[in-house]
Structure 1
Amino acid sequence: MEDNYGIPILDIKVHKVISPLGRGAKGVVFLLHTKTESPKEQFLALKVVSKSSIEEDNASRRRYNKEYKTIHLEKEILSSLHHPLLPKLQGLVETERIIGYAIDYCPGGNLHSLRKKQTEKMFSDNIIRFYAAELVLALEYLHGLGFVYRDLKPENIMIQENGHLMLIDFDLSTKLPVKPPQSIRHTTKQSAPETNKKKKQLFRFQKYRNSGISPEDDSTTTITVPELASIPTKSNSFVGTEEYIAPEIIQGNGHDFAVDWWCLGIVLYEMLYGITPFKGTNRKDTFNRILHKSPCLVGETTFLRDLIEKLLEKDPMKRLGIEEIKRHDFFKGVDWELIGKISRPPYLPIEEEEMKENGEIDVERFVQRVFEEEEMKEKERTVIDHKKNVQELNQLYEPNPFLVF
């Protein structure tokens, strides 16, 4: 069974939900085992949102509709993606109580957990170059479709079975409307004959194990990145993850695709140093650092540190764009067309003989319980914040006994 766009409708009572994988601000992710005729087992990541949580969390119908628009925009984005570094929408789930969708499962976890496994909790420049190049390609493709991602962080960067990255979670993404340009300039690059093209491995890593991608495999699909042939207008939404938010979002002057390149700079800094560059003691302090402080790039001057500094430019008009990034010296020698053919990425997930199962899971009840617990915690936080505000007001307006006379 399929929906109007040809996307399979999944019955969670037929397919087996093995275990919960994690949760975000708006959904719970489960590991789903789909039953197919293929001898190879297929596992998907199923993200589920409680309909009641959307309704209860919104005081007005306007906000309610906004949440549903977000869900459907994410569905639109996923259904339009055809890129090896981005997920494919594998199926939809909807009942009276939940709504969700299934995408490819990445057994390698996310980049945050992978960094934590490193001896010094940091990556080498060579490994950073590989992951950075793949992130650049993924963002370039999204921007070509008119989507600005707005939530690039290691927790949203997954490791596929073949060791390549996959960018997930489009909760905060948006599509920027465009205005026709006054003039469009097209450039055509003539490629060399295939017989004369020397295929080379872009990065040298230790011999871990074969990922299943052969450098000589000519069947690899060529990805065509759509050009932004129009001028994008800006978004005024205040969205993002605190430590990764670009200055222009905090300032509220409107933002465009440049916010993703700022986030890339934060991610590269975190991979290099193990921390984010602007984390403060609280939200206000963090935002103040983002707006006014320069990143502390400790160590010798390198191409990587230079790239990070130029990506973390406060003024989005002066920040590096896609072409400048790809031409930067840090990526010197990188053949952007062959990155997807690298057969030995720096890390490959270890095959597990058997997936861990937690018994039969009632997805609807599980999701409802999670959001009920979160709602209770939110109410407790609200009460605590209210009491704190009252105490501060009482201290501020405490009468001076000397003023009685």
Structure 2
Amino acid sequence: MEFCPGGDLHTLRQRQPGKHFTELAVKLKPNSDCPCYILPSTYRFYVAEVLLALEYLHMLGIVYRDLKPENVLVREDGHIMLSDFDLSLRCAFNPTLVKLSTPESEPLQKNSTYCVQPACIEPSCIQPSCVVPTCFSPRFFSSKSKKDRKPKNEMGNQVSPLPELIAEPTNARSMSFVGTHEYLAPEIVKGQGHGSAVDWWTFGIFLYELLFGKTPFKGSGNRATLFNVVGQPLRFPESPVVSFAARDLIRGLLVKEPQHRLAYKRGATEIKQHPFFEGVNWALIRCASPPEIPKPVEIERIPVPTSSAGDKPAVPVTKDQKNYLEFDFF
């Protein structure tokens, strides 16, 4: 496993103001080439990459079952990777492509006016001149006039919908009681058996913790926490204020009945279509510039205790070894 100098998201969250991430994007100063543009928020960048990681695992027939900020590491290039697969469940699964017959088959239509409440904070640029030259906004504003644009219904008739990749191992089943108490899904606590939907529950807890700095069902102890997971409704604190889209996504993921939970049947494909992720170009997200690049770690020499006659001297690390260390296993 490669060395990740950025640490984990739990430590990174602790370093944020208020010990939580913000939904707001970062507005950069205007320049001659672009009068205004915005970088994606740190929060949305990391959760989007975690979503892709979970989708990839499910595509391989792996239910992760231990998602939490401590297990999400920040690599040298600023992108994330998951760690600690001790609790993972492996099952046989073959991803399928489902062809959509009509545009009406899409359950969530993109809507730029999704959040209409005054308190809602949308992590996007509302200025007409704003352009986001990243994968979080795949299309620049068109220079065509309204007269040149074709009606949406006419364009819909000309372009057939693309097939949808379903990478959700819905046949995976386990009776094991595994996971972190604050992240356990209700079906695990009840001992009713569980499947891949537990990963989408933990993803909802993960989103909540990064935004609010705490998990939603934590009690005074493990027993109280498990009781809250099963019996207490989801509540959002008054501060910090987050967008309606973010709250709606978390609500959909933290449905206690797994068969009614968001992504239960169609997996990550369903979550990607949620308005919270509007504007994300999923195909290019790994090519996006991360919001933060970890500082390089200089490793000149591996420290060893005082050497005796039979001990080996410290081995200098060459440049071509980068961040990988050699160990003697015994």
For the criterion TM > 0.5, the same-fold answer is yes
Shift of 1:309: 1.3
State the distance in 2 between where 1:156 and 1:239 align. Answer: 15
Distance 2:232 2:89 in 1: 28
Matching residue of 2:244 = 302
Q: Any stretches of 5+ residues in structure 2 without a counterpart? A: 24-40, 102-131, 138-163, 312-328
| Alignment deviations for residues 259-305 of structure 1 (CA, whole Å, 9 cap, x no partner) | 01111111111111111111111111100000011222124552111
| Aligned residue in 2 for 1:202 | 135
Alignment map for 1:3-402 (pairs within 5 Å): 103-125=1-23, 126-177=41-92, 186-187=98-99, 200-203=133-136, 227-228=166-167, 231-299=170-238, 300=241, 302-321=244-263, 322-343=268-289, 345-354=290-299, 357-359=302-304
Cα drift, residue 332 of structure 1: 0.5
Instruction: Go from structure 1 to structure 2 and tell me whether the alpha carbon gap of 1:292 and 1:186 turns closer, same or farther (over 3 Å shift).
Output: same
Q: Give RMSD over aligned pairs.
A: 3.0
1:275 is paired with a residue whose SS is: coil
8 Å CA contact 1:115–1:271 kept in 2: the answer is yes
Q: How many Å separate the matches in 2 of 1:133 and 1:260? A: 15
What letter matches 1:187 in structure 2? K
- Give the match's secondary structure for 2:279: coil
Instruction: Tell me the distance in 2 between the aligned counterparts of 1:121 and 1:131.
Output: 16
- How far the C-alpha of 1:330 sits from its partner, in A, is 0.4
Count of residue correspondences:
230
CA distance in 2, matches of 1:188, 1:356: 57
Give a deviation string over 1:80-135, Cα, whole Å, max 9, x none. xxxxxxxxxxxxxxxxxxxxxxx111111000001111121111112221111101
Name the CA shift for 1:185/1:359 in 2 (closer, same or farther; >3 Å).
closer
Greater share of residues in helix: 1
Q: Look up the equivalent residue of 1:139 and give its one-letter code.
A: L
Whichever of the two has the greater Rg, that structure is: 1
Task: Give distance in 1, aligned partners of 2:291 and 2:48.
Answer: 13
Superposition TM-score, scaled by structure 1 size: 0.52
CA distance 1:233–1:104, change in 2 (3 Å): same
2:180 & 2:169 partners in 1: Cα distance?
A: 28
Contact 1:248 1:255 in 2 (8 A): yes
* CA contact 2:13–2:19 (8 Å) conserved in 1: yes
TM-score (norm 2): 0.63
CA distance in 2, matches of 1:155, 1:355: 28
Secondary structure of the residue aligned to 1:337 is: helix
The answer to whether the Cα contact below 8 Å between 1:307 and 1:330 also exists between their aligned partners in 2 is yes
The residue matched to 1:129 in structure 2 has which SS?
Answer: helix
Q: Distance in 2 between matches of 1:357 and 1:116?
A: 29
Q: Conserved in 2, the CA contact under 8 Å of 1:141 and 1:226?
A: no
Task: Decide whether the 8 Å contact of 2:98 with 2:166 is kept in 1.
Answer: no
Q: For 1:309, what is the secondary structure of its paired residue?
A: helix
Mapped to 1, the partners of 2:225 and 2:86 lie a distance apart of: 23
Q: 1:360 to 1:227 in 2, by over 3 A?
A: farther
Give the CA deviation at 1:356. 7.7
Name the structure with the higher strand share. 1
Q: CA deviation at 1:227?
A: 4.9
Letter in 2 for 1:160: R
How big is the shift at 1:187? 2.5
